[in-house]
Structure 1
Amino acid sequence: MNLESLRTLGYEEIKQEVVRYTVSYEGKRLAEELEPMIYMTAIHRALQETEEAKELLERGASVPLPSLEGIEWVMSLIGTGYLFSEQDLSAVAVFLNSCGQLRKYMASKEQSAPRIAAYGSSLQELPGLREEIGRCIRFGVIETQASRGLERVRKQLAVAKDRLQRKLDSIMSRHQSILQENLVSMRGGRYVIPVKREYHKQVKGAVLDQSTSGQTVFVEPYEIAALQGELELLAADEAREEGIILSTLSGLVEREQESLRLNIEVTGAYDFIFAKAKYARSLNARNVALNDRGVLRMNGGRHPELKDMVPVSLNFGQSYKSLIVTGPNTGGKTVVLKTLGLLSAMVQSGLLIPVEEQSEFTVFSDIISVIGDGQSLTQSLSTFSAQMKSIEGMLRFAGRGVLLLIDELAAGTDPGEGFALSIAILEELSRKGANIVVTTHFNELKSFAAAAPGFENARMEFDKHTLQPLYKLTIGEAGESYALQIAEKLGIPPEVIRRSHELAGQQRRPEGMISFRGKEKAIKAHNRHKHSLDSEEESVQGDQLQDASAKDSKGLGSSFEIGDAVYISSINRTGIVYARQDSMGIVGVMVQKEKLRINHKRLKPYLSKEELYPEDYDFDIIFESKENRKKRKLMRKKHVEGLSIIHPEEEV
């Protein structure tokens, strides 16, 4: 699968949600390695396993997943000759005991959850190892009965400690009058008595330490020195016997390492499956039907990260395999792309998805998306350039069974060339057999979708009265941008809106005039239609330029006025003059909200401001930002220290 596209769709965030529900290091590893599969049998099994786990959880089942605490450390040291501690071996015993419980639990669920129950039969209880660890170690301490040698040494230790204690009691009683306190201390692992400094010579023994103040001297009486030496030898014997026991148990663990690894894998698999099930419950998700025929029917699909979104329904793969989605900005077109792409990737990862009943998904060999502007300052890529770079990859990897998601195809360039390029790209992608869902504002693509075989229109519904998006996708109909209606509602003056309608009417191309039967006929007819429209456009544009050039005797031409529409020959675009020609012959021209500084020789008159705007029209509405308009209004009222208006400009 295309990793960059998965990232764009938000797949990584979904993986992290699954990781959050895991409880073991092995389950976490499996969740972090989650990725879409392409084989239907494997996908189908993974979905069924997740569904079975979800049903168990919904019935209130408490799954006894073994704890892997401490096990990762043990397994990492197997084969190194490391002597495992009492705590390490206790962790192994606890793990094996939990594996036994899980095996019994899954055996009881064989009828209700046969697929995931089958994993339980692979768990190894290893009773010999578990019981031997339990016999030798209890509560993290080696039992005296673990070996005869240890039992013998500990009995000798007990006798020696008793003799030493009785001797200490006798010495303390005899020297009580010269003791600083009636307590036995230890220094360097040996027993000492606290004697007042001035009397320490009365006790025959070795001075091992003194207090900070120097008033107390800690003396080891010679009477107990021999007993203490005997005690140290016995303690060394005890440590040796304990080491023998730990070495024996470590060897048993080493011999069972393959069974232990298998148990860890099965435990991790269960942890992973139930993590997917817990995540599915949080989304109120369900299983879906699968097919390899390219048929997709998404009923009421919801994006997992958008809790309040209006569910989206769409389908393709029968009478058509590709959709061209139109509609206004903020109408939800991009959300449709991301929802479809993400849910498809989730299904192929064995995840249940938030859709309604009767949903069916097809298995895609790849999902490639071009969503977002993709601009790169380091590579000097514009929105259009970045998108074309991605489209080039699509054209190389497109094929049957590949889902392509394209947001605002060919946006950011000249509309006349943009729609032609869009159609050529879609024709080639469709020819390669890919499923395509593309959003656009080009009216020409609506006609293309209505006429070209394999394509269908779809629109995001919009309330014409409230001018609010309804976030509902309707297939079979093309949408409108509602740009002028929205602009009017947002306060653009009626005169501007009226003039916009006039200009739009002059430039609007006929739609829905082509009838196709068969792909070859469709392409030929479309190309004839495109050629005639291009010729008509060139003729109209030439006439307008010629007519406009004749108006130089009215002052339009060498002396451009603010508000005049001009044609910029160097970039083949039109713009509006926002600053008069300066002494260097440079004119300020706004092109699609971008202010440019252009030499007057590169400009040709297009339409005068009188033809575009009403008398006394406030051009600040067009040329100034809302923030600057507020500043200018404030400046007209009073002087404000430090307040300024800055216009970043560019020369072409």
Structure 2
Amino acid sequence: MNHTSLKQLDYQHILDTVATFAHTERAKETIRTSEPKFVKKHINQMLNDVWEAYRIITISSSIPIHSLDDMSAYLQQAKKGLYLQPSQLQRVLSFLEHCRKLNTFMRDKVAVAPNVANYVLSINDMSDTENAIAGSLRHGQIDDHASSELANIRRHRRIKQAEIKEKAEAICRSKKWAPYLQDSLVVEKNDRLTIPIKKQYRSKVSGTMIDTSSSGATIFVEPKELATLYEQLNDLTMAETYEVETILYTLTTSILDIESDLHMAMDIMHHYDVLFAKAKYGQSINAVIPKLNEDYMIHLDVARHPLLGEQAVPLSLQLGIRDRALVITGPNTGGKTVTLKTIGLLTLMAQTGLMIPAGPNTSLHVFQKLFVDIGDGQSIEQNLSTFSSRLTNIIDILEITDDKTLVLIDELGSGTDPNEGMALAHIILEQLYAKGATIVATTHYRELKSLAQTHDGFLNGSMAFDVETLQPTYRLLLGETGNSQAFDIAFKLGLHPTLIHRAQQLCGNQVDETSYSITDIDQTQKRRYDKQLATTNYVRTQQKKKKTAIPLFNQGDNVTVSPHQEVGIVYKGPDEKGDYIVQIKGEKHRINHKRLTLHIPATELYPPDYDFDIIFKSVDYRKTKHLLERKHIKGLVLDDEE
């Protein structure tokens, strides 16, 4: 199966979700690395097992599945000649107990799950090993009664420990040691019983110094009288260690003796874990077991996209009996792509042995190939456009498609000139159909609806749209063609029917005179529209009567003057003749507007409230103006300098 197609359909997301229902890491990994199967008999067996597992969890949610952690590692350790530690034996014991409980559990479910329950028969009786380990362990350690020899050794060891303690306490009470004691008590240091002696009396007592106090004032001495007793205790400790290791070796050997049985039990436990994970996932999404057919038929009964949950709009369709190609048209975000992905993803799930969220009448064909092109696989490395990348993918699909192939293409022919894209889409669909593929394609090209009229085996479909709410309903309508709903939306928002009819004519649509009746429009809205239209017509009539308007330049605008393209600055104007006074190289000239072209507007050259006298007036003029603005000076006259 094409891995790019699996990715585009979010197949791995589904597997990851199913894996969360598994108990063991091994089962999680098995589910995460699953792939669709292609043999109908095998797939039916998987689906039947999942269905039986589903029936079991509906009556009993607690399944005795062991985690299997480290079981294989323990066997490898034993095969190397290393005995298992008591904690490891405890884990093996737990596994054997789960096998026994699982056996009992499944034998009780034969009536509701005959095939699944019988798998447990492959787990052999391992009660002897279970009983041997259970009888040898107590609180995670080797029990005293694991062997008679160990029980005897430990009994003598406890007696010897009591004898040492009694002897040490007697020494502590003796008059011989009394003068040298720091405290009259026996202190255990480094697993040895000692007497606390004042440092200055170290030479007065015989024995081995074991430790000193933090201040150094006290030393802890093991009296010489205890040395022989400790040697005897050490001998017993060594004997105990040897006997414990012998028991551990014996138990480990008993585990190796049933190695093949353990591997079989782990495989069965693992198989059950995968089955029940699939069943629990199916239960979580309210799924069913789909039927499988050999008629190249896709029959979806109120199917839902599993990743959309309760938000998914049920999808029902039947494809493959009379029609092998479905062409879906409709608006953007109307659900075309989700429909495409739902068909592909549910097909993959069924061929992986998964329950699917759909009705009980759902039936799917087992395809050997599934190709998807949804337009999100553009190759940056190849430096191709979106159209080129998608076309390359579709050409590859055409090369290897046959009658066992399901092809799903989203927005076929998009990304290029509409006419050329439509033509390419047309011949691609024809070729895919000729090669026997089952096809579901979405498109904006309403011209492709003609395929259903001119080619047997093609079926039109569209995504429903609610013109009242201006929202897509995400429902697939078979046998109908859709469009972008632009005209419906425009009408609902108040665009006049006359304009919509004209737009339909330009678009090449047949105008339905009753589709957008003026009587359906609110009368207030109609009057407002008619008034706007009348006003627009009057303004246009008046404008035709006027002479050509003189272009407006503002003071300070930078203009070019033809024919020599000299640069000047507008000083004032225009007058009734359309002349402006323009300053060129410090001199002012009267120039008609027809010779002027705006170069840079004043707003881009000067700040607001800029004093243009700086540009157009002499220094003497500005000084005189400044004086006259302050006070009247007799005989002082301001020359306009034009």
Answer whether TM exceeds 0.5 for this pair: yes
RMSD of the TM alignment (CA)? 2.5
Describe the shift of the 1:450–1:178 C-alpha distance in structure 2 as closer, same or farther (beyond 3 A). Answer: farther
Deviation at 1:47, TM superposition (A): 1.1
In 2, Cα distance between the equivalents of 1:484 and 1:382?
A: 31
The alpha-carbon deviation at position 27 of structure 1 amounts to 2.3
**Letter of the aligned partner of 1:303 in structure 2?**
H
Shift of 1:354: 0.8
Say whether residues 1:140 and 2:177 are aligned partners. Answer: no
Q: CA deviation at 1:325?
A: 0.5
Alignment of 1:448-467 (within 5 A): 448-467=451-470
Structure 1, residues 453-508: CA drift from partner, whole Å, max 9, x if none?
A: 221101101123332111110111111112354467789xx59x987874663453
Give per-residue Cα distances to partners, 1:339-364, cap 9 Å, x unaligned. Answer: 11111111111111111121111111
Report the residue type matching 2:232 in the other structure.
Answer: E
Indicate the larger mover: 239-248 or 364-373: 364-373
SS of aligned partner of 1:58: helix
Equivalent position of 2:236 in the other structure: 234
Matches for 1:61-72 after TM superposition, within 5 Å: 62-72=62-72
What's the counterpart of residue 384 of structure 1?
Answer: 387
- Residues 340 and 447 from structure 1, CA distance in 2 versus in 1: closer, same or farther, beyond 3 angstroms? same
Tell me which amino acid in the other structure corresponds to 2:201: Y
Whether the aligned pair in 1 keeps the contact of 2:77 and 2:83 (CA below 8 Å) is no
Indicate which of 186, 192, 216 corresponds to 1:190. 192
What whole-Å deviation, never above 9, does each CA across 1:172-203 have from its counterpart, x for those lacking one? 22346644445544444433233232333333
Q: Is the 8 A contact 1:65 1:267 kept in 2?
A: yes
Deviations 1:597-623 (A, max 9, x none): xxxxxxxxxxxxxxxxxxxxxxxxxxx
Cα distance in structure 2, aligned partners of 1:298 and 1:180: 91
The alignment partner of 1:121 has SS state of helix
Question: Are 1:210 and 1:217, in contact at CA under 8 Å, matched by a contact in 2?
Answer: yes
Q: Contact 1:99–1:124 at 8 Å: present in 2 too?
A: no
2:372 equivalent among 349, 369, 374: 369
CA contact (8 A) 1:326 1:478 kept: yes
User: Deviation string for 1:119-138 (max 9, x for gaps)?
Assistant: 01111231221121122222
Q: Mind listing any 5+ residue stretches in structure 1 that lack a counterpart? A: 512-652
Which residue is 1:483 aligned to?
A: 486
Query: In 1, are the aligned partners of 2:491 and 2:500 still within 8 Å (CA)?
Result: no
What is the letter of the counterpart of residue 151 of structure 1?
A
Deviations 1:47-86 (A, max 9, x none): 1111111122222453322343452442443422221011
- The yes-or-no answer on 1:399 pairing with 2:388 is no
Partner of 2:628 in structure 1? none
- The code of the aligned residue for 2:151 comes to E
| Residue aligning to 1:649 | none
2:332 to 329, 333, 336: 329
Q: How does 1:209-288 map to 2 (within 5 A)?
A: 209-288=211-290
* Distance change in 2, residues 1:277/1:240 (3 Å): same
| Matches for 1:135-214 after TM superposition, within 5 Å | 135-174=135-174, 175=177, 178-181=180-183, 183-214=185-216
* SS of structure 2 residue aligned to 1:66: coil
> What residue in structure 2 maps to residue 434 of structure 1?
437
Name the CA distance, whole Å, in 2 between partners of 1:332 and 1:140.
60
8 A contact 1:26–1:265 mirrored in 2: no
Return the TM-score normalized by structure 2. 0.75
Aligned to 1:89: 89
Q: Does 1:416 align with 2:423?
A: no
Where do residues 97-108 of structure 1 align in structure 2 (5 Å cutoff)? 97-108=97-108
Answer yes or no: is 1:52 the counterpart of 2:55.
Answer: no
Shift of the 426–240 alpha-carbon distance from structure 1 to 2, 3 Å rule, reads: same
Instruction: Give the CA deviation at 1:252.
Output: 1.3
Query: In the superposition, relative to structure 1, how do residues 389 and 229 fare at CA in structure 2: closer, same or farther (>3 Å)?
Result: farther
The answer on 1:358 being equivalent to 2:368 is no
Q: Residue 302 of structure 2 aligns with which residue? A: 300
Q: Distance in 2 between matches of 1:480 and 1:80?
A: 72
Letter in 2 for 1:137: L
Instruction: Report the Cα distance in structure 2 between the residues aligned to 1:31 and 1:130, rounded to whole angstroms.
Output: 31
Maintained 8 Å contact 2:54/2:283: yes
Give the superposition deviation at 1:115. Answer: 1.3
Name which of structure 1's ranges 117-126 and 75-84 shifts more when overlaid on structure 2.
75-84
SS at match of 1:350: coil
Gaps of 5+ in 2: 512-642
Question: Aligned-pair distance for 1:209?
Answer: 2.1
Residue 42 of structure 2 corresponds to residue 39 of structure 1: no
Distance 2:28 2:408 in 1: 31
- Counterparts of 2:134 and 2:341, CA distance in 1: 55
User: Partners in 2 of 1:126 and 1:22 — Cα distance?
Assistant: 25
Contact 1:37 1:349 in 2 (8 A): yes
Please tell me whether the aligned partners of residues 38 and 367 of structure 2 are also in contact (alpha carbons under 8 angstroms). yes
Which residue of the partner structure matches residue 339 of structure 1?
342
Task: Output the amino acid matched with 1:204.
Answer: S
Cα 1:322–1:311 change in 2 (3 A) is same
Distance 2:78 2:366 in 1: 42
Which amino acid in 1 is paired with 2:205? Answer: V
Shift in Å at residue 210 of structure 1?
Answer: 1.4
Counterparts of 2:10 and 2:254, CA distance in 1: 47
The separation in 1 between residues aligned to 2:36 and 2:187, in whole angstroms, is: 67
**Farther-moved stretch of structure 1 (289-298 vs 195-204):** 195-204
- Name the aligned partner's letter for residue 304 of structure 1: P
Q: TM-score, with normalisation over the residues of structure 1?
A: 0.74
Deviates most, 179-188 or 56-65: 179-188
Percent identity between matched residues is 37
CA distance in 1, matches of 2:504, 2:198: 109
1:396 is displaced (CA, Å) by 2.5
Question: Would the alpha carbon gap of residues 476 and 92 (structure 1) be closer, same or farther in structure 2, given more than 3 Å must change?
Answer: same
Tell me how many residue pairs correspond in the alignment.
509
Instruction: Provide the secondary structure at the position in 2 that maps to 1:314.
Output: strand
Check the 8 A contact 2:25/2:67 in 1, yes or no.
no
**1:458–1:476 contact (8 Å) kept in structure 2:** yes
Change beyond 3 A, Cα 1:482–1:179:
farther
Distance 2:57 2:160 in 1: 59
SS in 1 for 2:396: helix
Structure 1 contact 78–257 (Cα < 8 Å) conserved: no
Q: What amino acid does structure 1 have at the position aligned with 2:443?
A: T
Question: Could you tell me whether the CA contact under 8 Å between 1:21 and 1:275 is conserved in 2?
Answer: yes
The DSSP-based 3-state class of the residue aligned with 2:46 is: helix
The one-letter code matched in structure 1 to 2:40 is M
Query: Could you tell me whether the CA contact under 8 Å between 1:406 and 1:439 is conserved in 2?
Result: yes
Q: 470-479 vs 224-233, which deviates more?
A: 224-233
Give 1:153's aligned amino acid.
I
**CA–CA separation in structure 2 for the residues paired with 1:498 and 1:394:** 46
Question: Which whole-Å CA distance do the structure 2 matches of 1:75 and 1:509 have between them?
Answer: 76
SS at match of 1:331: coil
**SS of equivalent to 1:438:** strand
For 1:607-644, what per-residue CA distance to the aligned partner results, in whole angstroms no more than 9, with x for missing partners?
A: xxxxxxxxxxxxxxxxxxxxxxxxxxxxxxxxxxxxxx
1:398 touches 1:432 (CA, 8 Å); kept in 2? yes
Alignment of 1:563-642 (within 5 A): none
1:326 & 1:163 partners in 2: Cα distance?
96
Give matches, 1:21-40, under 5 Å. Answer: 21-40=21-40
Preserved contact between residue 22 and residue 273 of structure 2 (Cα < 8 Å): yes
